[in-house]
Amino acid sequence: MTAQTQSLALSNSALAMAVSNPGALGTIEAYIGAVNRLPMLSQQQETELACRLRDDSDLNAASQLVLSHLRLVVSISRQYLGYGLAHADLIQEGNVGLMKAVKRFDPDRGVRLVSFAVHWIKAEIHEYIVRNWRMVKIATTKAQRKLFFNLRRMRPDGQTLDPSQVDDIARELNVRPQDVSEMEVRLSGREMALEPQTDDSDDFAPISYLADDADEPSQVLERRALDDLHSTGLLEALDELDARSRRIVEARWLQDEGGATLHELAAEFGVSAERIRQIEVAAFKKMRVALSD
């Protein structure tokens, strides 16, 4: 290890503070300031650390590689502030992508870590935005995600696209014009709470317009049939049992609190617990037949 690389070694407490939740430093501004003060690596230092991580699983080398590139995450995360998500959350997700990149980085490929890590950082931030930007997911396939992120950038001033603009964007992104139009509608929509935000009964709430099928004739009939099954049907099924079988089923399963155990009933009838279990199984079979008639 060179003297220069040794001078870059940082304590575990510094690593935990920098890579964990950016809010740990109090404010996002304080975190960004701390990240920008972390030393950057030369190509030689980066290669040496990456080889130590790959060959020796040196976690200290991994820490230094991550710390020296945290400012890259901050820079990339700023590009996604227009989605209404907290900057600290975007940075945190980007840090996850950076750590994945460090784990997979191969110094023998002849590229700098910064070039390799950009893809992983953006991918993790993209995934986070798609998961959290809307309660109803607007982009689920790879093609939709590509369209989602590019369309926001390509729409002039966020205005509605005319047919010629839709065609131009579709041609540039190699997608169908109808896909562009559909994504534009999704992006233009806004979320609305199902329930009112206040107790004011005059507030509009979509939940008031949702159908309540509790009193639908089919629902009423189904509930009535279920009630009959639980009451009259059960009593009729119990009547099909002999006295001992009925006593066992009622004692085991039809008590308000804690039914009798197999051993308790075995002692009551002077037989083994296994015999009580066999009688119970036979009784259930007989009751199922009665209930199905």
Residue 142 has pLDDT above 70, yes or no: no
Q: What are the Cα distances from residue 69, in Å, to 40, 75, 97, 189?
A: 7, 10, 11, 37
DSSP annotation of 210: S
Measured CA to CA, the distance from residue 58 to residue 41 in angstroms comes to 17
Structural domain count, the chain: 3
Final residue belonging to a domain, choices 112, 133, 154: 133
Q: Residue 278's domain is classified under what CATH number?
A: 1.10.10.10
Measured CA to CA, the distance from residue 119 to residue 121 in angstroms comes to 6
Q: Is residue 168 a part of any domain in this protein?
A: yes
Q: Is residue 198 a part of any domain in this protein?
A: no
Residues 117 and 147 in one domain: no
Span 131-141, pLDDT tens digits: 776 544 555 56
Mean pLDDT, the chain, whole residue set: 77
Q: Is residue 29 a part of any domain in this protein?
A: yes
Bigger pLDDT: 275 vs 146: 275
Q: What are the Cα distances from residue 239, in Å, to 139, 243, 291?
A: 59, 9, 11
Residue 288 has pLDDT above 60, yes or no: yes
Residue 162 has pLDDT above 50, yes or no: yes
Residues 175 and 240 in one domain: no
DSSP tally for the chain: helices H, then strands E: 16, 0
Final residue belonging to a domain, choices 118, 133, 148: 133
Give the pLDDT score at 12: 40
CB 133 within 8 A of CB 85: yes
pTM over 0.95: no
CB 261 within 8 A of CB 212: no
Domain that holds residue 236: 215-292
